[in-house]
Structure 1
Amino acid sequence: MDKNQEIEWLEAQKINISEDLVAAAKQQLEFLAAVDRRRCLYDGPVLERAIHRYKFCWLPLLAKCTESAAVDKPLVVPLDCEWIWHCHRLNPVQYKKDCAEFYGKMLDNKHAVSSLQAKGKSRDQTMDMWTKLFPEEPFDLNFTSTLSEININKDSEDGKNITYDLVSAVKRQSSFYYQVSRPSMHDDRFLVGAAARYKGFLHLIKRNQERSLKQFCVPTYDVDLMWHSHQLHPLSYCKDMVKLLGKVLEHDDTDSDRGKGKKLDTGFTETTKQWEDSYGLRYWRAGAMYKGSLPSPLPLLPDLSKHESGSKWKSRGHKKCVNLPNVMVVEVLMEIVGIRNLPSTKKGNLFVTFSKKQPDMFLDGVSNLTIFSETGQKQVAGFQCEATGHLVLALVSDSTSNLGRTAKTIGTISISLERLLDSDSKLFVDDWFELRSHSGHNDTKPIGIHVAASFTVPIPAPHVLYKAKSNFLSVNTCFFPLPGKVQQFSHWTRFIHDNGNEIISLKMRNSRKELGKDDWKDKREIIGMTKFSRKPQILAKYAENIWSFKDSGFSIDVEKKISQDGHIFEFKGDEQIKLFLGRKLEYEPKNNNKQNDQEFITVVEFSAEHPYGKALALLSLKSGPLRINEDWFALPAMLLAFILSNKFKKEGYTALVSNGESVDMGADRQVSEIKPLNYSYESELGALVTKTSTAMAVENGGGCGSVCSGNCGGCGGGGCRGMAKGSGCGGCGGGGCAGMTKSSGGGCGGSCKGMAKSSGCGGCGGGCGGGVAFLNACGDARAVGPAMVSYEVTTVGA
C-alpha cells in the first residue's frame, strides 16, 4: 500500500454507517440458522402461507403501531413473517417503494424485535394485538402442518397487495446461509475486517459514480454479509446511502449466471482489479469465498415435530472412547505480489516456494508460486495446514546455462502462524518481508518480497483413518504384548490415523459364551485393543441380527434393510442416526460425478440443531479411508466400518440394499501395511499419478448481489474447477474439484476427478480445502470464489 492507496483506504473508512454492523451480522447469522432449520419456508405451501401472513398481518400491524405509538414495547415479529420481511428488505429500492405506496412511509425495524431475541412482555403484548386484529390467524405458524391444513384466508386481504415477487426473492436468498455458515463468519476479528471492507466496497462505488463509470461491482461474501446487515435497517440504510451517493443503493440479486465471461464473472474481475489498484490490498479473503452449490437434500424428509421442541445440542465428551489427535486446521490463501531490491546479478526466472518448517499432516511438501510483478499473472494458492509452526517462503532463481538448468535459493523468510492467528491479529497479512540471504554476504539493501496471505479461524480437523490387515500382532507393533499365544489373535484390522499413528485394532470372533445345543444361535463379538490397553476388550456383540455397541448405547440391525425413505440402516440409541448409500451432504461430489458412489455410506445424524441432517462420517466399503467429523462418534464409526466392510466382503453389494439388484463390486481390498504420511495406494479415485510440481486452479466467486453504479446484479462465482494438489491434504469431502490428480496420500470424499496430490493425506469438507490449489490469473480474467478473483486456468492432471 503506497501513500496514495493508504489515503484512499482511510478515506473509505470515514464513511458513516449508522448501525453496528458486527452486532447486526451476528444477529442475522443466528436468524438465518433458525430459518434454515425450517426449510419448508424456502418453497411450497408454508412459504405461500408465510407471504400471506407477512403482507396481510405483519405489515398492517407494524404500520398501525408505528402510527399510533400505542405500545411501550417493541413488536415481536413471528419467525415466518420475519423471513419474508428479511427478503423484502434486501431489495431496498423496491421495499421503499412498496412502503411509500401502501403505508405512506418507510416501515423500519426499530419498532420490532426478532422472535429469537424476544422476551416476556414484548411477546405477550404483540400476541394480544395480533389476536385482536386477526382472530382467525394464529400468531405462531405451525411449521409441521400438512398441506391440507395450510389454508390461506382470502377474506383477510385488505387490498394492499404488494406485487413484488416475494416467492422468487425467497428462493434467491435461500442459499445465502450456506455460503456464510462458516466459523470465520462468527469471529469478531473477521467481522470487524468485513465491516471495513464493506466501507471500501462502498467507496469504490462512490468513486465510479464520481467518474461516471458504469462499473459492475461484485462483493465477496464477507462484504455481502455486511451489506445485507445494513439493508435490514431500512431507515439507516436509506439515510446512509443518500448521504454517500445521493440515492438508495440497489441490491438486485436476480443475476446468478456464474459462467466464464458472463456479467458476474467479468464484474468480479474488474472489481478485484479496481480494489487492488485503489487500496493496494488483496480483494480475496480466506473464509469468504464461494463454496459451490448447495448439497442435494436427503431423500428422507425430516419430521420437524420431533425437533421443534428438541433440546439444544449438548457435549458428547463422555462418549469419547478412543484417543484421537486434537489437530486444529486453518485454510490459507496466499499470493506473492512483488519483489524489491533485487540486484542485477540475480538472473533467471524467479519464483517463490512455500512449505511448513515442520511438515504437518496437511502440508508436508513444497509448492511453487509465481511473482505477480515478474510474470504479470496473478496466482493465488489455497491450502490447509495445521494452525501451528512456521510457513517458510524461499525466493528461487531458475536459470539455464551451458552447464544445464540450475535452481538457486536467494533467500528465505519464516512466518509464524501462531502470531498471525492470535487474538490480536487481523487474520491476514499484506506486507513486505525482508529475506534472509543465502548468498553468504549482505547486499547493500536487503531483498524483500511482498506477501499477501489470509487465514480462516482455526477449527478442529476432521479425522481420516485407514484400514490395514495384520496377520498377527507382534511386539514390533505399538501395542502391548498379548498374554498367551499370539496366533489366537490373527487377522486383526488396524485403524491408522492420517498422521501415521495406530488408533485401534479390531477382530471379530465367535462368542466364547458356552451355549447348549438347543440355545445355539449365531453369536459374535468384536474385540479391540489400543496401545493403552494390555488385553483385548469386548466392544460390540452380535445376537439375533443385532449388533450392540458396548458403552455407547448404540445398536444396529444390519440385516434389516430400509429403502422406502432413503436410508439403508438405522442406529438405535439416544441420537437419531441413519445410514445412506452414497456420498451425501458435504461429501456429495460437486461435479455430479456419481461414479462408484455406491461404494460409500454416509452416516447422518438428525437433531433439533440439524433436522435435515448432519454428516458424522463417510465409510468406504472398499479400500478408501474412513472420514469422521465428530470425535464422540469415532469408535462407533470404526466399529460400523469394520462390520459393514466385512459384510460387504462376504455377501456383496446386495447385502446392503433391499431391491435385490445384483452388482459385483469386488471384494474388500484392504492394504497390508500403512506407511506414515506418504503412503501411496489405489483409492476410489482411480489410477495414481506420479508427481505434480505446480498446479493451477480457479474458484469462481462473489457475493450475492453485485452493483453497477447503483444497479445491482447477482452472485459472481462458480465451483472449483481444475484444482490441483501439489502437497498436503488429501481429498475433497464434497468439494467441486474436477480436474484433480493424486499421487499419494489420503483419499477423496468428494468427487475429485483427477485430483493432483504429491504427498500427505487429509480431507477437505467441501470447497477447495486440502492440498494446494493455485488460483492463476491474467489481469483480465475471471473472478474466484466468493472472495477471490477468478482467472484463466491451467489444469494439471486428467
Structure 2
Amino acid sequence: MMDHEVEWLEAQKIETSIDLLAAAKQQLLFLAAVDRNRWLYDGPALESAIYRYNACWLPLLAKHSESSSLTEFPLVPPLDCEWIWHCHRLNPVRYKTDCEQFYGRVLDVSGVVSSVNGNCKLKTEELWKKLYPEEPYDLDLDKVVSEKSSAPEKCTKYDLVSAVKRQIPFYYQVSRSYVSNDVFLQEAVARYKGFLYLIKKNRQRSLKRFCVPTYDVDLIWHTHQLHPVAYRNDLEKLIGKVLEHDDTDSDRGKGKKLDTGFSNTTAQWEETFGRRYWKAGAMYRGSTPAPVATSPYVSDVLAKEPNAKEEFQSLIQVPDVEVVEVLLEIIEVKNIPEGHKGKLSVVFSKTQPDSLFDAERRLTILSEAGQKQVALFQCEPTGEFCFQLVSTSPSKIPVSREPKTLGFASLSLKEFFSPVITQLSVEKWLELIPSKGSKTDPKPISLRVAVSFTPPTFCPSVLHMVQSRPSCQGSCFFPIIRKSRHAKSSTHVVDETQTEVISLQMSDGATLKGDHTAQRQVIGVMDSGETRVLAEYTDTFWSLLDSKWSLKQTNGDSSVFELFGTRVVKIFSGRKLDYEPKHCANRRCNEDFMTLVEFSKQHPYGKAVALLDLKLGSIEAEENWVVLPGIVSAFILNTHLKRGGSNGFDTTTKVAQQESLKSNGLKDKETKLVAKVEHKVKGDTTNGQAATAVIAPEKGSGCGGGGCGGECGNMVKAATASGCGGGGCGGECGDMMKATNASGCGSGCSGECGDMMKATNASGCGSGCGGGCGDMMKAANASGCGGGGVCMEKAANASGCGGGGVCMEKAANASGCGGGCGGGCMEKAANASSCGGGCGGGCGDMVKSA
C-alpha cells in the first residue's frame, strides 16, 4: 500500500514547462470555435486551409520568430491555419521533422496568440497583407475552389487531410461543460503525469507496451504536444526522446489493439499506483451524433434570457436539480471472521434517495470474486452512499436462504461537494459497523471502496402530460394519476414527483354570428383556478406567451416546425444530436419523438435543447428558458397530430403537412401512452467514455452513460434499468424490455451487450465488454460483462464477462471469464469466477513506448 503511494508521489514529481491546466482550457475554447466552423472539416475549404497553412502561415511564423523587429506584438493565426497547425502538431515527431527540414528549427507557439482570443490580430492582418497581398487574411469561403493546384515550395508530405479527419471526433468526447472545471482538470494533469510515469518505467525495463489514455489524460497530452518546444524538452528530459502520439488506430473491437492496450494499461496503472484507472467523465461517449444541418444556420436573432419580470415566467416553477455521474467499484475486503464460508457481495444505496437514484444495487468484490465490476449511475450530490456487506451461503442444497448481513458503512457526498468541490475521486478503507446480533471483533471488517464523480451539472427538467378524463380511450397522453380538480377536460403537466406545475386546455374556435370564427387558444389553469391565455392560433401560426414566441410549420429544410422568439428553435422529427438513439433496432420507434434544436451564433449547426415524446406525452428540457414554450408547443403538436393536422395550422397545407409528417417518420393520431417517460442523461466511462444515456420508465436508463456506439437497447416499462452503463457500447447493448434493475452495459461494450428481456436485477455489461456481452434473457441478479464477451443467457446471479470471451450460458452464480479469456468459458458453470477487467475498446489515443 505504501509502495503504491510512493510510486504516485514519484509520478507527481514529473515537471512540465507550461501550465497544462490553463493551456487545456485554451484548447477547449479553440476546439469549440472550430466546431462552429465545420467547413474546416472537409471539402475545398479544408484543402484551401492546408494550402494557406503551408504557403502562408508557416513562412510567416518562421519570419516572425527569427526577426527581432517583428516581436513587438503577438502573432495571431487565421482560424483555418491554426486548425491545420493544431492537427500537424499532434504528430510531434512528424512536425519536428518537417520544421527542421524546411526551417532548420522547430517552430514554436511562443509569441503566438490563439485566434479565439480575437482582440489583438490587427497588426498580424497588416503584416499578412504586406506579405500576401493576393491572399486574404481570413479564408474567403466564396473562393475556395481548387485553383491553387501547385503546392508551395515548402510543403509537408504528411497527409494533413487524414490528420484532420482523425481529430474531428475528439471534441465531442471532451465537449461537456464540466471538463473545463478546475478540479477535474487538476486531476487530469495529475493522471497525465501518472501516464508518463508508466511509459518511463516501461522504457527503463525495455518493455514495449501500447499505452492507451482515458480522455481526460488524452486532453492533457494533446495540450502538452501543442507546445512543441516544451513538449520536446520535457519528454527528452523524462525518457530521452520525443514521445510519438499514434492516433491512427480507431478499431475498438474486442481483442483489437486498442482493447488489449487499454486493458494492459489499466492493469499496469492499478498495479503501480493502487488506484483505479477509470474515471467518471473521462470515458468514451460513443460515436459523434449525426448533424441536423450540413451548413451553418444564419440568424439575426440575438439569443437572450427571457426577462424574469415577464408575467408568464412565473406561471410554472421547475426546481433546479444538480446531477453528478458516479463510477463505483468495491476493491477489497479484510478482517473477515475465521471460518466464514459464504459468498460475499456489497449492496449499496443512498440515504437520501433522489429522482435519479433511489434503488439498491449489488456489486461483487474484486478481491473475492476475481472480477472487475464497476457501477455507473447518476444521482444528486447530496446524502450518503450506504454499503451493506452480505454473505450468501455456498450450500448446494436447494433451500432458499436469506443472505446474512455482516456490517454497514457509509460515505458522505458532502466531503466532495460541500461547500465547494474539493476532489472528484477517492479510494479508501471504510470500517463496517456490525449488524445487530453480530459478534464484536477487535479487528472490524473493512471495505476498500473506489468512487469517482463528475463535477455537478444541472439535470434536465422532465415533465409529463396527464389527461384528466379516464374515459378518453385512444387519445389520452397518460393514464390518470389522480382525480382532476378541474371539471373540464384538461391535460395536467406534472414533474417527476407527480406534482402538478400547470394544467392546459384547448379552446376550440366557435362559430359566431356572421360566420366569424373565434381564434383557437391554449388556456393555462393555475393552482388558484386563475386562467391565462398561453397561445392563440392566428391563421397560419400559433402565437405563444404574449407573442414572445411563434410556432409555425417550416418549408425548405429538414425540420417540421419552427419555434421562434428570443431564440431560434427548429423542431425535427425523431431523436437528433445528443438524443440520437444508440440502438438501431429500438422497439420505441424514432417516429414517436421530436427534437427541439436551437440555432445561434454559438451553435450554428444546432444544439438539442429539448425532446418531445409524442407517445408518452413528455418533454425533457435541457435549459429553463425552453421549458414553458416547449410545454405549450408539445401540447399543441400532440393535439395537432391527433386531429390529423387540421384545426391548428393552415388547412390549405393539411395534405402536404400530413405527407411531410409521414415522410419524416411521424405517426398520425398516435398519442396513447404505454408508460411513464423515457428520458436522456449524460455521462461517461472507461477510456472511452459514456455519453448519452436513456433512462426508461421507472428509472430505467437506455444507455446508462456510456454513449453506446451501436445498439443500446430498449427499456420500455423498465424499472431501474441503466442500459449501457458507461462505456459506450460499440455494438449492441441489448434489449431491456420490462427489465427490473437492469443496468445494461456497465462500461464500454464494443460489441453486443445482449438482451435483458424480462430480466431482474441484471446489470448487463459490468465494465466494458470488448465484444458481445450476450443475452441475459430472464436473468436474475445478473451483472453482465465486466470486460467483454458473450455471456449469461438465462443466467441466475451471473456477473458476466470481466474481460473477454464467451461465457456463462445458463450459468448459475457464475461471474464470467476469469481473467480475460480469449475463448469460451464456463458454459453451465456454477460459482465460476470472472474476467478481471477489460476496456471494450472505448479508448482515446495511444502510444508505442520503447
Indicate the larger mover: 630-639 or 262-271: 630-639
Q: Which amino acid aligns with 2:430?
A: F
Secondary structure of 1:56 counterpart: helix
Indicate the larger mover: 600-609 or 548-557: 548-557
Q: Tell me: CA distance 1:536–1:129, structure 2 relative to 1, closer, same or farther (3 Å).
A: same
* Shift, 1:726, TM fit: 12
Higher relative contact order (CA 8 A, sep 6+): 1
Long gaps (5+) in structure 1 = 672-679, 686-697, 703-715
> Hey, what does 1:76 align to over in structure 2?
76
> Hey, what does 2:504 align to over in structure 1?
506
Q: CA offsets, 1:680-711, max 9 Å, x none? A: 828789xxxxxxxxxxxx98853xxxxxxxxx
> Hey, what does 1:556 align to over in structure 2?
551
* Shift, 1:670, TM fit: 4.1
Partner residue of 1:540 out of 531, 535, 545: 535
Q: Which amino acid aligns with 2:574?
A: G
- Partners of 1:741 and 1:755 within 8 A in 2: yes
Partner residue of 1:377 out of 371, 376, 384: 371
Partner residue of 2:441 out of 443, 453, 473: 443
* Shift, 1:623, TM fit: 2.2
- Partners of 1:428 and 1:454 within 8 A in 2: yes
Q: CA offsets, 1:341-394, max 9 Å, x none? A: 111244311100111112211111111000000010000000011111111111
Q: Tell me: CA distance 1:442–1:248, structure 2 relative to 1, closer, same or farther (3 Å).
A: same
Mapped partners of 2:522, 2:722: distance in 1: 28
Q: Tell me: CA distance 1:138–1:641, structure 2 relative to 1, closer, same or farther (3 Å).
A: same
Are 1:776 and 2:766 counterparts?
A: yes
Q: CA offsets, 1:12-44, max 9 Å, x none? A: 111111111000100000111111100111111
Q: Which amino acid aligns with 2:173?
A: Q
> Hey, what does 1:49 align to over in structure 2?
48
Are 1:525 and 2:521 counterparts?
A: yes
- Partners of 1:782 and 1:789 within 8 A in 2: no
Indicate the larger mover: 440-449 or 186-195: 440-449
Secondary structure of 2:22 counterpart: helix
- Partners of 1:587 and 1:733 within 8 A in 2: no
Q: Tell me: CA distance 1:193–1:775, structure 2 relative to 1, closer, same or farther (3 Å).
A: farther
Q: CA offsets, 1:606-659, max 9 Å, x none? A: 001111111121112212532111111111111111111122222179785444
Q: Superposed, which structure 2 residues align to 1:662-677 within 5 Å? A: 665=667, 667-670=669-672
Q: Tell me: CA distance 1:316–1:762, structure 2 relative to 1, closer, same or farther (3 Å).
A: farther
* Shift, 1:141, TM fit: 2.1
Partner residue of 1:250 out of 244, 249, 264: 244
Q: Which amino acid aligns with 2:404?
A: K
* Shift, 1:125, TM fit: 2.0
Q: Which amino acid aligns with 1:575?
A: R
> Hey, what does 2:834 align to over in structure 1?
none
> Hey, what does 1:364 align to over in structure 2?
358
Partner residue of 1:633 out of 614, 626, 630: 626
* Shift, 1:211, TM fit: 1.1
* Shift, 1:772, TM fit: 9.6
Q: Superposed, which structure 2 residues align to 1:751-790 within 5 Å? A: 754-755=735-736, 776=766, 790=787
Q: Tell me: CA distance 1:728–1:415, structure 2 relative to 1, closer, same or farther (3 Å).
A: farther
* Shift, 1:590, TM fit: 2.0
Partner residue of 1:516 out of 489, 513, 518: 513
Q: Tell me: CA distance 1:118–1:605, structure 2 relative to 1, closer, same or farther (3 Å).
A: closer
> Hey, what does 1:89 align to over in structure 2?
89
Secondary structure of 2:76 counterpart: strand
Q: Superposed, which structure 2 residues align to 1:344-493 within 5 Å? A: 344-399=338-393, 404-422=400-418, 423-440=420-437, 441-471=439-469, 487=487, 489=488, 491-493=489-491
Q: Identity of counterpart residues, as a percentage?
A: 47
Mapped partners of 2:224, 2:159: distance in 1: 22
Secondary structure of 2:259 counterpart: helix
Partner residue of 1:585 out of 577, 595, 600: 577
Q: Tell me: CA distance 1:94–1:772, structure 2 relative to 1, closer, same or farther (3 Å).
A: farther
Are 1:112 and 2:112 counterparts?
A: yes
Secondary structure of 1:244 counterpart: helix
Secondary structure of 2:60 counterpart: helix
Secondary structure of 1:433 counterpart: strand
Mapped partners of 1:137, 1:206: distance in 2: 46
Are 1:217 and 2:211 counterparts?
A: yes
Partner residue of 2:235 out of 219, 230, 241: 241
Mapped partners of 2:666, 2:14: distance in 1: 65
Mapped partners of 2:427, 2:720: distance in 1: 32
Mapped partners of 1:338, 1:767: distance in 2: 23
Q: CA offsets, 1:150-181, max 9 Å, x none? A: 24564996411211111110111011110001
Mapped partners of 1:660, 1:114: distance in 2: 45
Q: CA offsets, 1:292-319, max 9 Å, x none? A: 0000011463235x47xx8676577567
Q: Which amino acid aligns with 2:766?
A: N
* Shift, 1:70, TM fit: 1.9
> Hey, what does 2:26 align to over in structure 1?
27
> Hey, what does 2:274 align to over in structure 1?
280
- Partners of 1:428 and 1:453 within 8 A in 2: yes
> Hey, what does 1:676 align to over in structure 2?
none
> Hey, what does 1:204 align to over in structure 2?
198
Secondary structure of 2:186 counterpart: helix
Q: CA offsets, 1:112-152, max 9 Å, x none? A: 111222534xx22211211111001111224xx34xx2245
- Partners of 1:529 and 1:537 within 8 A in 2: yes
Q: Tell me: CA distance 1:316–1:499, structure 2 relative to 1, closer, same or farther (3 Å).
A: farther
Q: Which amino acid aligns with 1:542?
A: Y
Mapped partners of 2:46, 2:520: distance in 1: 51
Are 1:323 and 2:317 counterparts?
A: yes
* Shift, 1:776, TM fit: 2.8
- Partners of 2:328 and 2:376 within 8 A in 1: yes
> Hey, what does 1:710 align to over in structure 2?
none
Q: Tell me: CA distance 1:218–1:720, structure 2 relative to 1, closer, same or farther (3 Å).
A: farther
- Partners of 1:727 and 1:757 within 8 A in 2: no
Secondary structure of 1:619 counterpart: strand
Mapped partners of 2:57, 2:282: distance in 1: 34
Secondary structure of 1:646 counterpart: helix
Q: Which amino acid aligns with 1:576?
A: V
* Shift, 1:400, TM fit: 5.2
- Partners of 2:678 and 2:696 within 8 A in 1: no
Mapped partners of 2:362, 2:196: distance in 1: 35
Q: Tell me: CA distance 1:748–1:192, structure 2 relative to 1, closer, same or farther (3 Å).
A: closer
Matched residue pairs, number?
A: 733
* Shift, 1:758, TM fit: 6.3
> Hey, what does 2:810 align to over in structure 1?
none
* Shift, 1:719, TM fit: 8.9
* Shift, 1:239, TM fit: 0.5
CA RMSD of aligned residues (A): 3.8
Secondary structure of 1:377 counterpart: coil
Q: Which amino acid aligns with 1:581?
A: S
Indicate the larger mover: 459-468 or 172-181: 459-468
Q: Tell me: CA distance 1:352–1:555, structure 2 relative to 1, closer, same or farther (3 Å).
A: same
* Shift, 1:573, TM fit: 2.4
Secondary structure of 1:198 counterpart: helix
* Shift, 1:471, TM fit: 2.5
> Hey, what does 1:598 align to over in structure 2?
591
Mapped partners of 2:713, 2:290: distance in 1: 22
Secondary structure of 1:392 counterpart: strand
* Shift, 1:762, TM fit: 14
Secondary structure of 1:109 counterpart: coil
Q: Which amino acid aligns with 1:350?
A: L
Q: Tell me: CA distance 1:525–1:517, structure 2 relative to 1, closer, same or farther (3 Å).
A: same
- Partners of 1:381 and 1:775 within 8 A in 2: no
Secondary structure of 2:287 counterpart: coil
> Hey, what does 1:651 align to over in structure 2?
644
Q: Which amino acid aligns with 1:239?
A: N
Secondary structure of 2:447 counterpart: strand
- Partners of 2:51 and 2:152 within 8 A in 1: no
- Partners of 1:731 and 1:746 within 8 A in 2: no
Indicate the larger mover: 491-500 or 169-178: 491-500
